[in-house]
Amino acid sequence: MVTAPIPVGVQNSAYRFVWPPSLNCMEENILSAESIRDALNTKYIGRPTFYYPSVSSTMDVARQSIAKGASEGTVVLADEQTSGRGRLRREWVSPPDSSLTLSIILYPKLVQVQRLTMAACIAIARCIEDVAYLENSIKWPNDVLINDKKVSGVLIESDVAGDNVNYAIVGIALNVNLDVDSYPEIAAIATSLKRELGLHFSRLDVLASLLAEFEAVYNALCKGEPIQLEWKRRLKTLGQNVTVRCGDVVRKGVAEDVDDDGNLLLRLPNKKLEVISAGDVTLKG
């Protein structure tokens, strides 16, 4: 009899798991509004999910949905994005039939907005364990890595006026079956679940896990639970010599800790501690 290993962090999983993963994942289930509705086991995240074969960016479509009164948890999912974007306005490669690219519409409080990147990264990390049993780590601030290569990224866009949050959109890209070797610009730094295991995954199953895990973590965040503890445990950046770049500003130091909102506490060579809220981290080899 084959017994499923229980990876760290999965014990409290919001998702049902099946072992071996190939039983669950070998066949692609077609993505459609109806198949997604039937596959989800969430209360409000992904209900409804608007599915598009092709859009410019799910972030823009989500913003249009908000203007039309979309409810909390509404998801905009696209098979292909023609102008997918990452942090710092970078392009995000989103060809059809390859990945999960989605935006989740939320109406959180200000304290929660600052922690949405953490919530999304935790949900992605748990999802990868649920569906693929793969060890993974989080690279500050918003990358999920497998074997030191990026498999997923998070982009948060929000509209905040003073203490009032009009909305937040959580953009998530997860490379499920992406053939990263076909994209020379990312081949050396990116990976996908398929590349790691040589298995074709059902994006529908991965989506169901991802949204269930996100709902569980977001509920915990809204209840004031300390989700930063799990995020910190999963962070690979801490204790490392790093270079942080934000625009023209470059800082080198030791990534000593993170605060409760996920800001990086960088110990500079002059021993001062700098709080960094945004930037790109390079780990010194």
Q: How far apart are CA 231 and CA 141, in angstroms?
A: 10
Q: How far apart are CA 285 and CA 282, in angstroms?
A: 9
Q: CB of 71: closest distance to ligand BTN in angstroms?
A: 19
Q: Sign of dihedral through CA atoms 41, 44, 46, 49?
A: positive
Q: CB of 190: closest distance to ligand BTN in angstroms?
A: 10
Choice between 103 and 177, CB closer to ligand BTN: 103
Choice between 83 and 241, CB closer to ligand BTN: 83
Q: How far apart are CA 108 and CA 207, in angstroms?
A: 22
Choice between 42 and 94, CB closer to ligand BTN: 94
Query: Are β-strands 241-246 and 249-258 bridged in parallel, bridged antiparallel, or unpaired?
Result: antiparallel
Residues that bind ligand BTN (CB under 6 A): 57-59, 81, 84-87, 90, 92, 101-103, 142-143, 153-155, 171, 173
Choice between 22 and 158, CB closer to ligand BTN: 158
Q: CB of 101: closest distance to ligand BTN in angstroms?
A: 4
Choice between 85 and 194, CB closer to ligand BTN: 85
Query: Are β-strands 75-81 and 249-258 bridged in parallel, bridged antiparallel, or unpaired?
Result: unpaired
Q: How far apart are CA 101 and CA 103, in angstroms?
A: 7
Choice between 57 and 191, CB closer to ligand BTN: 57
Q: CB of 88: closest distance to ligand BTN in angstroms?
A: 7
Choice between 16 and 245, CB closer to ligand BTN: 245
Q: Nearest to ligand BTN by Cβ — which residue?
A: 153
Q: CB of 231: closest distance to ligand BTN in angstroms?
A: 16
Tokens 């915990």 -> residue: 220
Q: CB of 68: closest distance to ligand BTN in angstroms?
A: 18
Choice between 28 and 157, CB closer to ligand BTN: 157
Q: CB of 142: closest distance to ligand BTN in angstroms?
A: 6
Q: CB of 6: closest distance to ligand BTN in angstroms?
A: 29
